[in-house]
Amino acid sequence: MMNDVLMNLLYCLGQAVILLLLAPLVSGIVKKLKAFMQNRIGSSIFQEYYDIYKWWRKPTMLTPNTSIIFVAAPCVYFITTLAAASMLPNFIGGKANFGDVFVFVYLFALGRFFMAVSSMDAATAFGGMGGSREVYIAAFVEPVIMLGILSNALHTGSTSLTGMTLNPNEVNLTVASVLTGIAFFLVMLAENARIPVDNPDTHLELTMVHECMTLEYSGRLLSLIHWASQLKLLVFLLIFSLLYLPLNLPLAVKVLLGAAGVAVMETLNNKMRLFKVRIYLAAAGIMMLLAVVAR
Amino acid sequence: MDMFFAAVLCYSIGILTLFAPHQRQIMAHYVANLAAVMGSGLVFFNAWSILASDIPVRAVKWGSYVLTCDGWSAAFLMLTGLAGIIASIYALGYAESYEGKRLRMLNGLWNLFICSMVLVLLAGDALSFLLFWEIMAVASFLLVNHEAEKRTTWNAAYQYLVMTSIGTAAIMIAFFLTATHSASFTFAAMANNTLEGGWLHAVFAAAFIGFALKAGFVPLHVWLPNAHPAAPSHVSALMSGVMLKIALYGFGRFMFDFLPEWNYWWAVIVMVIGLLSAFLGVLYAQMEVDIKRVLAYSSVENMGIIFAAFGCGMLLKVVTDSNWCQIGFLAALLHAFNHSIMKVLMFMSAGSIMHGTGSKNLELFGGLANKMPYTAIFTFIGAMGLAALPLTNGFVGEWMVLQSFITLGHNGLTQDVRLWTALAFVLMGLTGALALGCFVRYFGITFLGAARSKLVERAHESDTFMLAAMGMSSALVLICGIFPGYVIYLLCNALHMSDYMVLGVGGRLIWSGSGTFVTYNPILVAVVLGIIGVVVLYFVVGQKICIPKDVTWNCGTYPTARQQYSATGFSKPVRRAFDYLLKPKRERTYTQNDHSYFGRKLFYKLEIPDMITEKLYQPFNKYFVSASAFLRRLQQGSVRLYVSYVMVAMVIVLIWGAMYK
C-alpha cells in the first residue's frame, strides 16, 4: 500500500520534471512559428533555455521595502505549477491520485494568489497595476473554466482528470465537443497571458498584465517565474489536447497543433483593450453554456 | 446534559461580574472572560463527545419547556464552543482596552450572548427557542451598540434591532403555524404535524424569510455590513462566525423535522438566492475600504455558499430521491464549521490591526507586516482560507460544494436541473475568483508595500492573549485543511450518514456521486508541494542576493507611498466591469491653479451606495413615513377628540351586537 503510493508519487513527479524540461522548447516553437508567419527569422527554438540559464546565474536584486512574500511568491508559483503538471493523466504509467480537476484549478489559483499579493510588495505603481488587472481577468476566466469542467464532467461522468480525458476511439465531432474545444482555446489564451488578452513580450505599462507583476524580479526568481509560465502554457496545451480537442491524433501532434494555434492567434490579433476582455471571455462563456445544453 | 448546565453556570458567573465594583473592573474582566473560556470549553467537549460516541442525549423537561440535543444541534454546539473559546481568549487581551468604557457591561453581555446562543441550540420546544432567540438578539444588539457615542454605531445598532425583530416575527409565524397543526409546542410533537396544502408553503416562506434575514441573504442583508463592523471586534467575530450559522441551524431544523416533504421550487429558491447572495456579497466586499465591512460582506458571501449547498442537497433529494443528497448537507455543514473558524480569525486580526493603528481604513495602511509580523502571518493564512486555496480548510468545503453541484448536474437528467447546475457553476466560478481578488487586496494593501500614513509608523504588535487566539485559529485553518478526516467524520455522525461515502483510507476525501470515484487527498497534496518546495528552496537559498540601499526604480521619479496602488484603485477594473450592478457615484472637481503645466489640483470622491438599500429600502421607508404622517392626523392630542373616538367605537359595537343577537 505504502509502496504503491510512493511509486505513484515518483511517476507523477517524474512526469512533472519531464514536462518542465520540455516546456521552454514548446514556448520556443511558438515563438519560432510566430516569427515565421511574420516573415522574420526569429531566434532559435532553444533560446528560452539560454534565457533561463542566463537569469539563473545572475544575482537577485531585492528592493529594500520587500518582505518574505516577495521571495516566496515565485517559488510558490513554480511549485504549484509543477504540482499541477504532475496531476495530468500520466503518460509514463502511474496514477495521480491526490486530486481531481478542482484541485488542479485551485492549485493555479494558489500560485496566482501569491503572485498577485507579491505585486504590491515593492511599493510601486506598476506592481499594483499588474495585480489588479490579473485578478480582474481571473474573475472572468474562472466561470468559463468552471463551465468547461461541467461540460466535460457531464459527458464523462467524472471530475478526475484521467476520467475526463477523451477516449481516442470515441472521439467525434459533435456540437458540444467542438464548442467546448473552441471556448477552452480562447480561455487558455487568457489564462496564459497571451495575445489578445495580454502580451508576454512587452514591458509597456499600458499593455501589460502579467509582466507588470514580474517587473521587480531578477536573477533566479525571475527565471523561476518564466519557467513556471512556460510550464503552465504546456500544461494547458496538454489539457486542451487531452480533454477538449476532439481529434484522433497522437498526443504530441495535438500539442503542436495547439501551439501552432496560439502562434496563429498571436499573429492575426492585436492585444485588445483591457475592458474588452470581458466581452471576449463572455463569448467563450456563452459557447461553453451552449455546449453544456447540447451535451 | 449536565455538562451543558455546568457551562451555563460558568456563563452565569461571567454575567454576574456585571455587579463587580468599579475599582475591581480589571479583575472582573479576567474572571468574566475566563468563565466564558471555561463555559465554551465545556460546551465544545460535551458536543464533541456526543458526536464522537453518537449516544442519544436525555432531554430535560421543565413544565412545557424542553432542553435537548441531537446530532444536528451538537454539530452547531461544537462550532459555538470552539469559536467561543478562541474569541474569549482573544477578549482577555482585546477587551481590556475598553477599561473605563463600560468594560463590565461588555463582559457581562459577552457571556450572556454566548450563553443565549448555546441555549438556542439546546432548545427542544418552540417557546424556549423563541425566548433564547430573542435574548440572543437583544444581547447582540446591546453589544453592537456598545460604542453608542458614535452616531454610525447607534444607527447601525437600531437598524439591526428593527431588522432582527422583523426576522423574529417571521420565525414566530412559522413556529406558531406549525404548532397549531400539532399536539404541542415541543419539537418532537411538531415533527408529527398535520400541515398540508398551502400551509406548507406558508410555513416555508415564513421560516425562510426569518432565517435568511438572520443569515444576511441578499436582499435582506442590509443590516449586516453595518452592524457587524460597529461591534467590538471579538463580538463581530462571534456574530459573523457563529450567530449567522445559527440561522442555518434553525432553517435545517424546519427542513429536516417539520417540513420533510420538500417542494421542487423551495429547493431552487434556496439554492439560487444563496448563489446570488454569494456573488453580490463578494462583489461588494471587493469595493469596501473599511476592513471590517470587507469581512462582513465576505460573510454574506459565505452564508450564500452554505445555503446554496444546502439547497443543492434539497434539490438532489427532490429530483433523484437518492442518498447522494447527503453531500449537499454535509458540504453546507462543513463549510459552516470551516467558515466559522476562518471568520473568527479574520475579525480578530482586523481587531488587532485596529488596536495597533487606531484605524480601520484600508487606504491608510501599507507595510504593516514590518510592525505586526505575527498578525501578518495569521492574517495571510486566514486570507488564503477565505480565498478557498488548497491546504486550507476553506478549500475542503469548497471542493465538497463543487462536488455536490456536479452530482446534481449528473443525476438530475432534465434540462431545467442542468440549467440550475450551469448557473451554479458560473456563479461559483465568479465568486471564487472575486474572493481571491478581494483577499489579495485586503492583505496586500494592509501589510505590504510602503506605509500610506503615519498611523502605520506608530503601530504596535498585539499582546500575547490576542496572538495566542489568532495563532490557535490559524493553526486550525491549516490542520482542518490538511487533515479534514476527523471533522468530516464528526459531521457525518451529526447528519446520521455513514462516512464511507466521503472518506477513504488515510484521510482522503472520496466521492462517487457523479459516476466514477474522485478524490482529494490533502495530505498527499501537501507532501507533493513539500517535496518540490524543498528542492526549489535549496536553489533559491543558494543564490546570491543583493539588497541595495536605494529605493525601487520608478521611471526616474522618487517613489512616494502615494504612488502605490490604493485599495480603491486596485478594485477599479472590477468596479468598471460590473458598473451596471454597482452604480458607483463619482464626483471629480478640478481646480485651476496658476501654473498651467504642473498638475491641477483634483478632488475625487467615490461612493458606492448599496443598490438594494437604495432601490428597495429607501422607497419603502419613504412610503412608510408618509403613511405614518397621514395616520398621525388621528392623534391630535385633544381630549374631546379621543372621547368622541370612544363614543363612535361604542356605537359601532352596539350596532354590531344588535345585529348578531
Q: Write the DSSP string, chain A.
A: -HHHHHHHHHHHHHHHHHHHHHHHHHHHHHHHHHHHHTT-----TTHHHHHHHHHHHSPEE--TT--HHHHHHHHHHHHHHHHHHHHSPPSSS----S--HHHHHHHHHHHHHHHHHHTTTT--HHHHHHHHHHHHHHHHHHHHHHHHHHHHHHHHS--SHHHHSPPGGG----HHHHHHHHHHHHHHHHHTT-TTT--TT---TTT-SHHHHTTT--HHHHHHHHHHHHHHHHHHHHHIIIII------HHHHHHHHHHHHHHHHHH-PPPPGGGHHHHHHHHHHHHHHHHHH-
Q: Check pLDDT > 80 for residue B596.
A: no
Q: Check pLDDT > 80 for residue B649.
A: yes
H/E/C letters for each residue in A79-137?
HHHHHHHHHCCCCCCCCCCCCCHHHHHHHHHHHHHHHHHHCCCCCCHHHHHHHHHHHHH
pLDDT at residue B591, as a whole number: 73
Q: What is the DSSP letter of B56?
A: P
Biggest distance spanned by C-alpha atoms of chain A: 58
Distance CA B237, CA B346 (A): 8
Q: Do A65 and B449 touch (CB under 8 A)?
A: yes
- Please name the member of B409, B528, B564 whose beta carbon is closest to the beta carbon of A125: B564
Tell me, yes or no, if A204 comes closer than 8 A to chain B by beta carbon.
Answer: no
Residue of chain A whose alpha carbon sits nearest to that of B428: A143
Determine which of A86-90, B240-244, B311-315, B570-574 has the lowest per-residue pLDDT on average.
A86-90
Chain B residues in contact with A215 (beta carbon < 8 A): none
**pLDDT band of B414, cuts 50, 70, 90:** confident
- Please name the member of A59, A116, A129 whose beta carbon is closest to the beta carbon of B544: A59
Residue of chain B whose alpha carbon sits nearest to that of A150: B406
CA distance to partner chain A, nearest, from residue B428 (Å)? 7
Q: Do A153 and B524 touch (CB under 8 A)?
A: no
Q: Check pLDDT > 70 for residue B595.
A: no
With the CA atoms of A72, A76, A79 and A84 taken in that order, what torsion angle do they form, in degrees rounded to the nearest 10? 180
Q: Do A147 and B422 touch (CB under 8 A)?
A: yes
Q: Check: pTM over 0.90? Answer yes or no.
A: yes
pLDDT at residue B513, as a whole number: 76
pLDDT at residue B485, as a whole number: 87
pLDDT at residue B547, as a whole number: 79
Residue of chain A whose alpha carbon sits nearest to that of B544: A59
Select, from the ranges A61-65, B46-50, B98-102, B540-544, the one with the highest average predicted confidence (pLDDT).
B46-50
H/E/C letters for each residue in B309-351?
HHHHHHHHHHHHCCHHHHHHHHHHHHHHHHHHHHHHHHHHHHH
CA distance to partner chain B, nearest, from residue A41 (Å)? 33
Q: Check pLDDT > 90 for residue B405.
A: yes
Run of H or E including B640: helix B639-659
Average confidence (pLDDT) over B601-615: 82
Q: Check pLDDT > 90 for residue B347.
A: yes
Q: Do A133 and B573 touch (CB under 8 A)?
A: yes
Average confidence (pLDDT) over B32-37: 96
Cis peptide before A200 (omega within 30 of 0): no
With the CA atoms of B347, B349, B351 and B356 taken in that order, what torsion angle do they form, in degrees rounded to the nearest 10? -170
Per-chain mean pLDDT for chain B: 90
Q: The C-alpha cell of B202 is what?
A: 406558508
Chain B residues in contact with A286 (beta carbon < 8 A): none
Q: Which residue has the higher pLDDT, B605 or B77?
A: B77
Q: Do A67 and B543 touch (CB under 8 A)?
A: no
- Please name the member of B398, B421, B559 whose beta carbon is closest to the beta carbon of A123: B559
CA distance to partner chain B, nearest, from residue A167 (Å)? 15
Q: Do B528 and A13 touch (CB under 8 A)?
A: yes
**pLDDT band of B135, cuts 50, 70, 90:** very high
Q: Which residue has the higher pLDDT, B78 or B608?
A: B78
Q: Do B529 and A79 touch (CB under 8 A)?
A: yes
Average confidence (pLDDT) over B506-527: 82
Closest CA to B160 of B239, B92, B260: B239
Which of A101, A132, A184 best tests the B interface by mutation, with the highest count of B CBs <10 A? A132
Which of A10, A62, A95, A142 best tests the B interface by mutation, with the highest count of B CBs <10 A? A142
Average confidence (pLDDT) over B365-385: 94
Average confidence (pLDDT) over B545-570: 81
The residue with cell 501599507 is: B366
**pLDDT band of B346, cuts 50, 70, 90:** very high
Q: Check pLDDT > 70 for residue B505.
A: no
Closest CA to A139 of A159, A104, A161, A109: A109
Which of B374, B399, B408, B440 best tests the A interface by mutation, with the highest count of A CBs <10 A? B440
Residue of chain A whose alpha carbon sits nearest to that of B571: A132
**Percent of all residues in chain B with a pLDDT value above 90, rounded to a whole number:** 65
Q: The C-alpha cell of B630 is what?
A: 397621514
Tell me, yes or no, if A79 comes closer than 8 A to chain B by beta carbon.
Answer: yes
pLDDT at residue A206, as a whole number: 65
Q: For the residues of B420-433, what is the DSSP string, one character each?
A: HHHHHHHHHHHHHH
Q: Do A133 and B554 touch (CB under 8 A)?
A: no
Which of B374, B552, B563, B571 best tests the A interface by mutation, with the highest count of A CBs <10 A? B552
CA distance to partner chain B, nearest, from residue A50 (Å)? 18
Which of B381, B392, B438, B518 best tests the A interface by mutation, with the highest count of A CBs <10 A? B518
pLDDT at residue A202, as a whole number: 73
pLDDT at residue B296, as a whole number: 96
Q: Check pLDDT > 90 for residue B322.
A: no
Q: Check pLDDT > 80 for residue A2.
A: no
Tell me, yes or no, if A197 comes closer than 8 A to chain B by beta carbon.
Answer: no
pLDDT at residue B353, as a whole number: 95
- Please name the member of B422, B437, B445 whose beta carbon is closest to the beta carbon of A135: B437
Q: Do B433 and A143 touch (CB under 8 A)?
A: yes
pLDDT at residue B580, as a whole number: 87
CA distance to partner chain B, nearest, from residue A248 (Å)? 24
Average confidence (pLDDT) over A267-293: 91
pLDDT at residue A51, as a whole number: 94
Q: The C-alpha cell of B404 is what?
A: 455536490
Distance CA A47, CA B175 (A): 73
- Please name the member of A86, A136, A292 whose beta carbon is closest to the beta carbon of B577: A136
Chain B residues in contact with A119 (beta carbon < 8 A): 444
- Please name the member of B398, B406, B569 whose beta carbon is closest to the beta carbon of A159: B406
Average confidence (pLDDT) over A52-69: 89
pLDDT at residue B515, as a whole number: 73
Amino acid letter at B76? F
Tell me, yes or no, if A25 comes closer than 8 A to chain B by beta carbon.
Answer: no
pLDDT at residue B593, as a whole number: 65
**pLDDT band of B597, cuts 50, 70, 90:** low
Average confidence (pLDDT) over B125-135: 94
In chain B, domain spans? 263-541
Which of A146, A286, A290 best tests the B interface by mutation, with the highest count of B CBs <10 A? A146
Q: Do B573 and A112 touch (CB under 8 A)?
A: no
Q: What is the pLDDT of residues B150-165, one digit of tens each?
A: 898 999 999 999 999 9
Average confidence (pLDDT) over B132-151: 93
Q: What is the pLDDT of residues A183-222, one digit of tens each?
A: 999 999 999 989 888 887 776 666 678 888 888 898 899 9
Q: The C-alpha cell of A23 is what?
A: 516546456
Q: Check pLDDT > 90 for residue A294.
A: no
Q: What is the DSSP letter of B554?
A: -
pLDDT at residue B340, as a whole number: 96
Biggest distance spanned by C-alpha atoms of chain B: 104
Q: What is the DSSP letter of B62?
A: E
How far is C-alpha B242 from the geometric centre of its chain's CA atoms? Answer: 7
pLDDT at residue B134, as a whole number: 95
Q: The C-alpha cell of A228 is what?
A: 513556471
Distance CA B206, CA B169 (A): 9
Q: Which A positions 4-23 lie with beta carbon below 8 A of chain B?
A: 5, 9, 12-13, 16
Q: What is the pLDDT of residues B179-207, one digit of tens each?
A: 999 988 999 899 998 888 889 999 999 99
Q: Check pLDDT > 70 for residue B407.
A: yes
Chain B residues in contact with A224 (beta carbon < 8 A): 536, 540
Q: Check pLDDT > 90 for residue B599.
A: no
Distance CA B312, CA B335 (A): 14
Q: Do A62 and B546 touch (CB under 8 A)?
A: yes
Residue of chain A whose alpha carbon sits nearest to that of B540: A220
Q: Which residue has the higher pLDDT, B255 or B512?
A: B255
CA distance to partner chain B, nearest, from residue A256 (Å)? 28
- Please name the member of A16, A117, A160 whose beta carbon is closest to the beta carbon of B518: A160
Q: Which residue has the higher pLDDT, B561 or A187?
A: A187
Average confidence (pLDDT) over A78-89: 93
Look at the alpha carbons of B590, B594, B597, B599 in this order and tell me if their dihedral is positive or negative. negative
Q: Strand B509-511 relative to strand B518-520: parallel, antiparallel, unpaired?
A: antiparallel
